[in-house]
A and B are shown apart, each in its own frame.
Chain A
Amino acid sequence: MRDITKVRNIGISAHIDSGKTTLTERILFYTQRIHAIHEVRGKDGVGAKMDSMELERERGITICSAATYCDWKDHAINIIDTPGHVDFTIEVERALRVLDGAVLILCSVGGVQSQSITVNRQMTRYRVPRVAFINKCDRTGANPDRVIKQLREKLGLNAVPIQVPMGLEGDMQGLVDLVRMKAIYFDGENGDKIREEEIPAKYKAECDAKREEMLDAVSMFSDELMEAVLEGTPTEEMIMAAIRQGTLALEFTPVMMGTAYKNKGVQLLLDAVNAYLPCPTDVENFALDLDHDEAEVKVSNLSSDPLLALAFKLEDGRYGQLTYVRTYQGTLKKGDSIVNVRTGKKAKVGRLVRMHSDEMEEIEEAGSGDIVALFGIDCASGDTFTQGDYNFSMSSMHVPEPVISLSITPIDNKAQDNMSKALNRFTKEDPTFKTYVDAETMETIISGMGELHLDVYVERMKREYKAEVTVGAPQVAYRETITQRAEFNYTHKKQTGGSGQFGRVAGFIEPLEEGEYEFVDQIVGGSVPREYIPSCDKGFQKCLDKGALIGAHVTGVRCAINDGASHAVDSSDIAFQLAAMGGFKEAYAKAKPVIMEPIMKVAVEGPTEFQGSIMGSLNQRRGMIIGTNEEDAYTSIEAEVPLSEMFGYSTDLRSLTQGKAEFTMEFATYRQVPKSVAEELIAKAQKNKK
């Protein structure tokens, strides 16, 4: 079994195009997992190793986070590559849940962009210690100092450089390591020969000053170091220990730099991962005790304790269903039987593998803190596995509701078959991707977290499953809810031919603060027979699918019945269902129903000179501007804008700002639509009905 203190589960997270995949590619090369370097947009057509999906290779972005394992200087490193686009945040968040530490990559020119802010916020939420790496120092306009300033101001990190670059842009020669005070050069065609020398005279003064700064910042975390600094004798070990301590406490972020493309600085980053990022036992993980109202229980992190493992990703690859698992406690052995806590089902561990993008390596067992993959286990992502002795669940991951939907129609019969296969797989893999058939139009509807999110799935259908589909216009997922209590008293009667139907129900509906639907049974004295009460519940639920206003899903309603009547012969399950439906319809109209729409939190970032026009554009789109923040020549604007108004915004924004501004959006909340818009929607819905 491996030494758990020498395992690192890390993520590489960053803004799109800051060179994350290129960096991962270099890491795999230096750790000898691959033997040649392929570029993301390389001419050799092989593509980078981590971008295993064809589509990712073509678009140059990473969508699914593949898990990869490598060894660096007697440490085992599991790398989860995470996607950079905000529409795929569920992938990012899921990856963060199982990570112990992360490398935050920033472009030396672009600096901290809006996506980095989102990712940083997510990392803080999951308490992931991080080191920063300023990439692309070879690019024209590279300015690591500015990026460090932004790290401090925009992300609020205590970011302190532990390296100094020797030259920037085209003439970058190497780096000075401020801990050891050595100049480091990267020789050889692939930068794999490391040469250590004394610091050249012209960088000496700068390095001394920066080292002083670093020691100041880092001595906060160690009294021993503080004393040594005062006496002028700090040792390498002391500094490294203090940096590690500060990093683990999330109070210090060491900043490294280099250029992955030009093969500089990557090995030092790997050293830093080993030295400063936590091993699985350094991190506190919590499980939820299902027997005690989901109370938090600390996980021991010991391989010798009973098993606790979390399935965080499913993939339906060419070898069958693959389940990525992280063990938090205990040992997963080949041949063991494990229990899925959610379903209570037992399963046998058949094959246990360690993943390397899309190749794999068979292993016999995996200790606590490891990330491995299992074959042939039936489960959903987010399920917890034990050996049957616990009723714990690793904290369930928050899955946002989809906010946008599209209709898709296959072009021929063959495409129809393939489409359903594809949809089946996608929904299993990605909890934010949902699909259903609209009962009225008989169209297949797919829904997800954003335009790009759905785009990518439509593309994947075409490529991987050869399912050509025509796509309808995107639809926003509106909802309906009620704003006041209303009573009903409805009798359903049908006595024409055959056996009749009779049922009367009375009660009320009222707004429900939390949750979607609640059924309350307040019947006393048996005015509605026991056996028909579930029928009423069923009837109400049927009404929720389509609200009376625009046919949107109804949420936030409590339905209660408190009186009724039945007939000895004519009452039946269906009669009471219909009575409940009638009652709901009667009360719904009186309960002042309203339409709710998804509101997105939008952050736009651009040069200050465009601030006025950006704000104007948000205002036009019914945006509520929360505020602005000025930063040198850049301004960021935060606003809450209805999703329905955000279609095509990227094009508009580009033309408004000469392509110099960019934006991110995230689902924020559901809010009532203004009256004028509501009227429009209702009129449209009525027209569609006819």
Chain B
Amino acid sequence: MLKQDLIEKNPIRHLKGESDAKESSRMGLVMARAGMGKTALLVQIALDSLMNDKQVVHVSVGQSLDKTKLWYDDMFKDIAEVCKLDNAGEIHDAIMRNRMIITFNESKFSRAKLEERLHDLTQQNVIKPSCMVVDGFDFAKTDRAALEGMREMAKAMAMQIWFSAVCDEGSDSQAGVPAPCGGLEDLFNTIVLLQPISQSECLDLKIIKGSAAVSKCGKRLKLDPRTLMIREDCK
């Protein structure tokens, strides 16, 4: 399989409508219960940008650098193996140059700090990201203002930002956006929910909010639990 095919199999293709393509700044949110594969999906989104030769900043709150790096290496290896990617080693080396991980302690993370860091990076010409994924952002402890700030930052730096959030146990996933992100949906362009499908090994990617075209067809996407790529043969 070639790099191009890989790009097409990425679930993120289905999350962007035609109209979104023109817009360079956007915010996305991946929700799931603990252990469903939020980080994996974020890494997948990041890998997609990397495959398109774009630069990515991965912000990890509360996880170590080595662990985050392992996520990428493992995901890439799995994808390369499952999709039988040609010259995987070369592609890996090439795309990882465009990735940068910034880790914060839970207590140390703030939007101002992050912005300062990003500013440093672009000024020193180290990286100019067009995509940022934020893993471990604590929605329960943040207010609307902080997220609005993030949105402005996304606009100012012309990049897309993806967040992950843990759904509260037992919250009703049928109606709207699960807690703790209820009431914040207007800030995001896309919100997806990862959930298990009963009696199947695949994961269901439910699009709660997306561009008009996508939500209309009401399509449910089935993902391979290992690579989080779209799987067509899933029962």
Contacts and interface: CB of A to CB of B under 8 A. Distances in A.
B90 to A, nearest CB: 8
Interface string B100-136: 1111110010000100010011011111000000000
Contact of B123 (A153, A612, A627, A638): A612
Contacts of A672: 93
Contact of B120 (A615, A624, A626, A671): A615
A261 B139 CA distance: 50
A619 B97 contact: no
B64 interface: yes
Contact of A671 (B93, B101, B103, B126): B93
Interface string A137-157: 000000000000000010010
A680 B178 CA distance: 58
Nearest to A619: B126
Contact of A627 (B97, B102, B105, B120): B102
Contact of A612 (B96, B103, B108, B120): B120
A631 B105 contact: yes
B68 interface: yes
A647 to B, nearest CB: 22
B108 A630 contact: yes
B126 A638 contact: no
B101 to A, nearest CB: 3
Nearest to B102: A628
A153 B105 contact: yes
Given A626-B69, A627-B100, A627-B103, A619 B108 contact: no
Contacts of A626: 65, 69, 100-101
Given A611-B117, A624-B96, A624-B97, A629 B65 contact: yes
Nearest to B113: A630
Contacts of B113: 630
Contacts, number: 58
* Size class of the A contact interface (CB-based, 8 Å): 10 to 19
B64 A615 contact: no
Nearest to B109: A630
A627 B124 contact: no
A625 interface: yes
Interface of B is mostly: mixed
Interface residues of B, number: 24
Contacts of B100: 625-628
Nearest to A624: B97
B124 A612 contact: yes
Nearest to A635: B117
A627 B68 contact: yes
Given A627-B100, A630-B108, A611 B93 contact: no
A475 to B, nearest CB: 24
Interface string A198-231: 0000000000000000000000000000000000
Interface in A633-678: 638, 671-672
Nearest to A623: B126
Given A611-B117, A630-B105, A638 B65 contact: yes
Given A626-B69, A627-B69, A671-B93, A611 B101 contact: no
Interface in A607-621: 611-613, 615-616, 619
Given A626-B65, A628-B103, A615 B124 contact: yes
A615 B103 contact: no
A139 to B, nearest CB: 26
A178 B100 CA distance: 44
A616 B69 contact: no
B101 A619 contact: no
Contacts of B101: 626-628
Contacts of B68: 627
Contacts of B96: 624
Nearest to B66: A638
A236 B101 CA distance: 46
A273 to B, nearest CB: 30
Contacts of B64: 156, 629
B103 A630 contact: yes
Contacts of A638: 65
B8 to A, nearest CB: 27
A439 to B, nearest CB: 33
Given A627-B68, A631-B105, A671-B93, 4 more contacts: A612-B123, A624-B96, A628-B102, A628-B117
Interface of B: 58, 64-65, 68-69, 93, 96-97, 100-105, 108, 113, 117, 120-121, 123-127
12 contacts: A611-B117, A611-B120, A612-B121, A613-B124, A615-B120, A626-B101, A627-B58, A627-B65, A628-B117, A629-B104, A630-B104, A631-B105
* Pairs A-B, 7 closest by C-beta atoms: A627-B101, A612-B120, A616-B124, A629-B103, A627-B65, A619-B126, A615-B126
